[in-house]
Amino acid sequence: MAGKEVILTYEGLKKLEEELEQLRGPKRMAVKERIKAALSHGDITENSEYDEAKNEQAYIEGKIAKIEAMLKNARVIDEEDVSTEKVSIGSKVKLRDLDTNEENVFTIVGSTEANPAESKISNVSPIGSALIDKKKGDVVEVTVPDGILKFKILKIGK
């Protein structure tokens, strides 16, 4: 059975590859050393250091497996293929909130890369999905728990 497709930008792909390298190398070695040190204390039946290190090891190995699966099923969005005519994954979209007149720029990314603090919103989020396939000048209404937000698309870039 094939895994679920993971949509990534080139930047997102690089971040995952770097994280995987850190997990496979320094982090894996550090936890291995912690386990070795805990074992040197003798009886492990009531050794909390050993238990914590083994739990961390399991977490790291699980994270490695998850990232490897994501990379195996990754579809990288080539910036050259990103349209400036309509919003798609990889687009940088400048919006004006029609209620507050505030302007913001968001990058539409796959759900794996979403990070609102960096203005990266998922293509499956309420705002992201409402923007997909829209054009410059379009007014987009987004239903959120507090009501309806209205945005005007000012610019679509890469």
Q: What is the pLDDT of residues 40-87, one digit of tens each?
A: 877 777 778 888 999 999 999 999 999 999 999 888 887 777 778 899
pLDDT of 2: 57
Q: Are 132 and 88 in contact (CB under 8 A)?
A: yes
Please report the pLDDT score of residue 1 as a whole number.
Answer: 39
Instruction: Kindly tell me if the per-residue pLDDT of 20 is higher than 70.
Output: yes
The per-residue pLDDT for 145 is 85
Q: Is 156 left (phi over 0), alpha (psi -120 to 50) or beta?
A: beta
Of 20 and 9, the one with more pLDDT:
20
- Average pLDDT of the chain? 89
Q: For the chain, which domains are there?
A: 6-77 (1.10.287.180), 80-157 (3.10.50.30)
Tokens representing 158 are 């890469």
Alpha helices in 23-104 (DSSP H): 28-39, 48-72
Do 138 and 153 contact (CB within 8 A), yes or no?
yes
